[in-house]
Amino acid sequence: MKQVFYLRFYRRIRNERLCIIMASVAYSLYCITFYLKKWFRAKKRTIGINSEAALSIVSAACPDPASDGVVRNSPAVAGLDLSVIVPVYNHLDLLPETLPAIVRQNTRYRYEVVMVDDGSTDGARDYIRQFEGDPRVKLVLQENKGIAAARNSGLDEAAGRYVMFVDCDDVVHEDIVEVLLNQAYRTGADIVMGAHNLVKERNGRVTAVRPNVYPQRNLMGYRNGDAIMNYPGFPWCKVYRRELFEQVRYVENCLYEDTIVHWLLFRLCRSFVYVPAVLYEYRWYDGNYSHVQVSGRNIRAIERYWLLRKLIAKSKQLGLPEDDAFYTLLLRHLGSFYYYSIAGLKETFLNSMFALACDLVERYRLRHAVKLPFALRQIEKSLVTKDIELWKLACRYQ
């Protein structure tokens, strides 16, 4: 939450040091409010359901839909610096703004654009065909399989040294390739990420433009050598060394598919660079994909649990350790991400998902005390003691 305060202050003041001080003060007051609510809340309430029964309930309501994308890596092309992967599904009205900005980058680097049409129904497929004659563009046409499958198809075709993703309804700045690759080659980093604007729209009109420029400080309080976790896990506005995807693909047929960025790519990353310059315009409007995932009333929100199980299994397959950083990340994803996805579901499902979260913590809790940020300590306590009311409160203050 401290980082949220920072971003709110930064949008008005644009002074990093002052915003950090103000965010720290605001967060301290926030924590005091949390303790007051914790002390005066109703007494501890546990749920009368075990993990086996909970698993039966959620399986009946929303069976595990997830499937791993099949890994097929194209050979790298010498001298090709970057592959930009653009999954396209409809948005014909926005493509004339989005796609030319990607194809006409102001850069000295050599790059390709892999456009993957995922079964568009509004004429978008016909629109992207106009790029067929451009030697920098590869077109992939497939039936509708979802955004994860579209990104995976793009990865299958990618031949650049680095990979970047752009959503087809967003807009990149003309120098995003130049800026990010400059840092990638200068530092040798596995991941280079830039800042973005959150562009809020309603009825086709822009209502707000909010810069999301993250501080180069550990505001989120991670203490286990995982500083990269201070930054957002969006797939876009980043370049990734292609080797990170040699054994990794997006989880298909599942909401929250970009969780792999936090769970796998950030943990595989050996070094990263953050560029505090706005390079990407992220559109937020009624009906876009992100709204579907965060509604809190969609029964498919249960898929967040299935996805966590699959990513834990994939972590083991990749040989990633179940250490302090792993446990911290697990608690983070069993906190507000998890809660706000399911908060609007019926009590039976909410209680079942909580029981399954408690079971995950019981399985993966380490024998020694892990240094945790304040909010995650409260979430851990609620899951260990199976106190659902404390969990709800802690998630709202994470």
Amino acid 319: pLDDT: 95
171 shares its domain with 203: yes
Tokens of 104: 């006409």
Residues 105 and 172 in one domain: yes
Asked if residue 2 is part of any domain, the answer here is no
When divided into structural domains, the chain yields a total of 2
pLDDT of residue 76: 86
Instruction: Specify whether 125 is located in the same domain as 242.
Output: yes
Q: Per-residue confidence at 204, pLDDT binned at 50, 70, 90? A: confident
Please indicate, yes or no, if residue 240 is contained in any of the structural domains.
yes
Contact assessment for residue 367 and residue 327, using Cβ atoms and an 8 Å cutoff: no
pLDDT tens-digit readout, 4-32? 888 888 888 888 889 889 988 998 898 88
Question: Does 266 lie in the same domain as 158?
Answer: yes
Residue 290 has pLDDT above 70, yes or no: no
> Which two three-digit tokens encode residue 112?
């390709």
pLDDT at 288: 62
Please give the mean pLDDT across all residues of the chain: 91
User: What pLDDT is stored for residue 309 in this prediction?
Assistant: 95
Mean pLDDT value across residues 227-251: 93
- Examine the domain organization and report whether 249 and 382 are in the same domain: no
For 217, residues 6+ apart whose C-beta sits below 8 A from its C-beta are: 20, 230
Q: Using 50, 70 and 90 to split pLDDT, how confident is the model at 173?
A: very high
Is residue 354 within 8 Å of 391, Cβ to Cβ? yes
Domain for residue 365, yes or no? yes
Q: Which of 30-34, 215-219, 281-285 has the highest mean pLDDT?
A: 281-285
Domain boundary among 286, 315, 349: 286
- For residue 59, pLDDT over 60 is answered with yes
Do 127 and 259 lie in one domain? The reply is yes
The stretch 131-150 carries a mean pLDDT of: 94
Question: Is it the case that residue 66 has pLDDT exceeding 70?
Answer: no
Residue 294 confidence (pLDDT): 54
> How would you class 307 by CB atoms within 10 Å of its CB: exposed for 0-12, middle for 13-18, buried for 19 or more?
buried
Same structural domain, 96 and 187: yes
Is the pLDDT at 223 greater than 80? The verdict is: no
pLDDT at 227: 83
Summarised one tens digit per residue, pLDDT across range 324-372 is: 999 999 999 999 999 999 999 999 999 999 999 999 999 999 999 998 8
pLDDT class of 73 with cuts at 50, 70, 90: confident
Burial 130-149 (b: 16+ CB within 10 A, else e): ebeeeeebbbbeeeebbbbb
- Lookup: tokens for 223: 């203490």
Question: Helices 388-396 and 347-364: crossing angle, nearest 10°?
Answer: 90
pLDDT at 336: 92
CA-to-CA distance for 324 and 225, rounded, in angstroms? 9
**Pseudo-torsion of CA 319, 71, 189, 329, nearest 10°?**
-50
| Domain stops at, among 234, 251, 286 | 286
Task: For residue 225, tell me if it sits in a domain.
Answer: yes
Among 264, 286, 308, identify where a domain stops. 286
Task: Give 187's Cβ-side CA count (13 Å radius).
Answer: 19
Give the domain range for residue 367: 24-61+298-396
Provide the pLDDT for residue 38: 81
| Residue 209 forms part of a structural domain | yes
| Whether residues 123 and 263 fall in one domain | yes
Are 117 and 252 contained in the same domain? Answer: yes
Q: Are residues 239 and 267 in the same domain?
A: yes
Q: Which helix (H) or strand (E) holds 330?
A: helix 324-333
Domain membership flag for residue 7? no
Average pLDDT score over residue span 366-386: 92
Instruction: Kindly report which listed range (26-30, 55-59, 138-142, 152-156) carries the lowest average pLDDT score.
Output: 26-30
What is the per-residue pLDDT across 347-356, written as a single tens digit (0 to 9) for each?
999 999 999 9
Over residues 172-194, the mean pLDDT reads 97
Full-model pTM? 0.92
Q: Which of 211, 305, 225 is nearest to 267 (CA)?
A: 225
Residue 235's pLDDT band, with cuts at 50, 70 and 90, is very high
pLDDT of amino acid 108: 96
